[in-house]
Structure 1
Amino acid sequence: MKDIIFYAIPFFILSILVEVLYYRYLQKHQDHYETKDTVSSLSMGIGNVITGIVSKVVVFASIVLVYKYRIVSLGRDVWWYWVGLFFADDLSYYWFHRMSHQVRYFWASHVIHHSSQFYNLGTALRQTWTGNISGAFIFYLWMPLIGFQPVDIFLMQTISLIYQFWIHTEAVNLMPKPIEWIFNTPSHHRVHHGSDLKYLDKNHAGILIIWDRMFGTFQREEERPHYGLTKNLGSYNLFHIAFHEWRDIYDDISRAPNFKAGLGYVFGPPGWSHDGSRKTTEQLRHESIKKVDCDVE
């Protein structure tokens, strides 16, 4: 099966060029793109395509293996199969994405996408090199188990990825209210890329924002976010961008006082530390609430 993402690449590049021209000549803004940052994002995207040639074979083989033990066989010739496939894929993406912010092991791959301090269509292509081989696909394995065919699962994942490209922009403010209520939009996804405390770990949607509304992770965009990480990399080195969190995990495990702490550094939330020297998002929020309460008193 040919990956249709290859056919979308010219559209991605053309859209980036249009956005650059829009900011430069129509809005007269120079702070939406930075050459080194954009080159890094595009290079990470190319690396993702190259590593995906091998890793997607492993992922597809795993899905095919699970499909052999499917509980039921679903027919592709009925409309509800495709509707069910769409919702199943989007729900799977939500939980994969949410866990990628709550479990450091998965964050080590996903952090790459958040490492730019700019928010533009180029940032959309800043993709991981390790996501597939580190097991992100496990969140989708229930789909072949209940009868969705492997080729169709891959197809829907690609459609979701292509959809998410256009929401990485500040050129679009707000969509009509019904769209903002149901779908993931640039406004919702800008929140997700914000490093402000109120925006951290919010809006994990792929195509439908309804999952965030349902599961309590929705945050409306208010002031313009500060993009990037709570501690930015300060480097355009591709290998540092791709592997820095994996190296940091190794360093933390090496210094861990016991086995339990070592597990915490791998499977705990990003920011967890055995001695409290670093803070998770929830700890930061708790401290912020306590500070407000103290100021009120």
Structure 2
Amino acid sequence: MERYIMMDLIAWMESTFGAHIEWKQVVLIGMTPMFLIAFAIEWQVMRKRGAGQQFYWKDILTNLNLGGSYQLFELAAHVIFVGAAVFWFWHHRFFTIAINGWTLLPIFLGVEFCYYWFHRCSHRVRWFWTAHVVHHSGEHMNMTTAMRQSLLYPITGWWLFFMPLVLLGVHPAVVFILYACDLVYQFFIHTESVGKLHPVLEYWFDTPSNHRAHHGRNDCYIDKNYGGVLIIFDRMFGTYVEEQEAVDYGIKRQVHSHNLLTLNFHEFIAMWRDVAQPGSLWQRLKHLWAPPEYERASTHQSSVQSQ
């Protein structure tokens, strides 16, 4: 009988630790020493170039603390409810897709496609932006910026975007291991140490240049370049932009804080504050799914009059 390394590993881990393993965090935590080594190399390279202005140690420590708390909270959330929810979808799958050399690449493309829409919604739907804003609130770019993540992700429901693959019959462990590989790749493109690559690579892949543009709050860069490993879906759906002018990192309504609670919850609280403003139920609830910049005319007018 033909056997495959990934499925053998999954079977062994599940028989040892139980079925509800948070595979994404297993991979990311396992890769953390490599991440830190890569960051140390990046820092040395940039320091020797005399370009260490993106390395502010208070910001770096904040990024590391955000990353560590995110990993721990995601593990807890998976044990409490996400794992059970994911396996509900698995038990109601339409098919069972074998994992082998023929199916692995199409599945990865499916993961990348799901990630594109998760990432795009995380910018254009305020409910999801309340979590993703943490990642974009950093005003300096280095590899630790990739660790700048939110506790709210499991609450806002990142995992729902990948459930179509599970319903189609891809084992959740395979989906989340491949998604973790996607995130591992993205860690290394959060850097200014690498310039533009060969045009062919820039055309197909999310490179450091393409991802720097994604993090810009310049008007020309807002809500562009959502891809993870690939940039092809941005080209297909009209959200691609080339890095040209100097990138100004951060968010339009910048939060100036190193407090983990403030960084994690400031936008979530602001969203519910907007929902609580007087108006019809439809107007109030629209703040949950409208873009982050959406303002009700009456609310905006009243806030202006009160100034």
TM-score by length of 2: 0.87
Alignment pair present for 1:161 and 2:161: no
Q: Structure 2: which amino acid aligns with 1:133?
A: I
- Is the contact between residue 60 and residue 150 of structure 1 (CA under 8 Å) also seen in structure 2? no
Quote the offset at 1:60 in angstroms. Answer: 2.9
Paired position in structure 1 for 2:82 = 59
- Is the contact between residue 43 and residue 52 of structure 2 (CA under 8 Å) also seen in structure 1? no
Task: Find the residue that maps to 1:142 and give its secondary structure.
Answer: helix
> How many Å separate the matches in 2 of 1:85 and 1:249?
35
> How many Å separate the matches in 1 of 2:101 and 2:152?
35
Matches within 5 A, 1:129-208: 129-208=151-230
Match of 2:139 among 104, 117, 134: 117
Task: Find the residue that maps to 1:141 and give its secondary structure.
Answer: helix
Match of 2:255 among 230, 233, 249: 233
Q: Structure 2: which amino acid aligns with 1:59?
A: V
Q: What stretches of structure 1 of length at least 5 have no aligned partner?
A: 279-297
Task: Find the residue that maps to 1:74 and give its secondary structure.
Answer: coil
Alignment pair present for 1:74 and 2:97: yes
Alignment pair present for 1:6 and 2:29: yes
> How many Å separate the matches in 2 of 1:21 and 1:48?
27
Paired position in structure 1 for 2:16 = none
Quote the offset at 1:122 in angstroms. Answer: 1.1
> How many Å separate the matches in 1 of 2:70 and 2:175?
19
Paired position in structure 1 for 2:43 = 20
Alignment pair present for 1:268 and 2:307: no
Give a deviation string over 1:114-134, Cα, whole Å, max 9, x none: 000001101111011110122
Task: Find the residue that maps to 2:155 and give its secondary structure.
Answer: coil
Q: Structure 2: which amino acid aligns with 1:214?
A: M
Paired position in structure 1 for 2:110 = 88
Quote the offset at 1:276 in angstroms. Answer: 7.5
Quote the offset at 1:259 in angstroms. Answer: 1.0
- Is the contact between residue 227 and residue 234 of structure 2 (CA under 8 Å) also seen in structure 1? yes
> How many Å separate the matches in 2 of 1:11 and 1:276?
51
> How many Å separate the matches in 2 of 1:252 and 1:220?
34
- Is the contact between residue 5 and residue 158 of structure 1 (CA under 8 Å) also seen in structure 2? yes
Quote the offset at 1:63 in angstroms. Answer: 2.1
Quote the offset at 1:6 in angstroms. Answer: 1.6
Instruction: Identify which range, 209-218 or 58-67, moves more after superposition.
Output: 58-67
Give a deviation string over 1:101-151, Cα, whole Å, max 9, x none: 010000000000000000110111101111012211111110011110111
Alignment pair present for 1:42 and 2:64: yes
- Is the contact between residue 224 and residue 239 of structure 2 (CA under 8 Å) also seen in structure 1? yes
Q: Structure 2: which amino acid aligns with 1:169?
A: T
- Is the contact between residue 66 and residue 141 of structure 1 (CA under 8 Å) also seen in structure 2? yes
Give a deviation string over 1:165-202, Cα, whole Å, max 9, x none: 00000110011111111111000000110000110000
Quote the offset at 1:265 in angstroms. Answer: 1.4
Quote the offset at 1:84 in angstroms. Answer: 1.7
Paired position in structure 1 for 2:128 = 106
Paired position in structure 1 for 2:9 = none
Instruction: Identify which range, 91-100 or 246-255, moves more after superposition.
Output: 246-255
Paired position in structure 2 for 1:287 = none
The alignment of Structure 1 onto Structure 2 pairs a total of residues equal to: 276
Decide whether aligned partners of structure 1 residues 250 and 277 sit closer, same or farther in structure 2, where only a CA change above 3 A counts.
closer
Paired position in structure 2 for 1:219 = 241
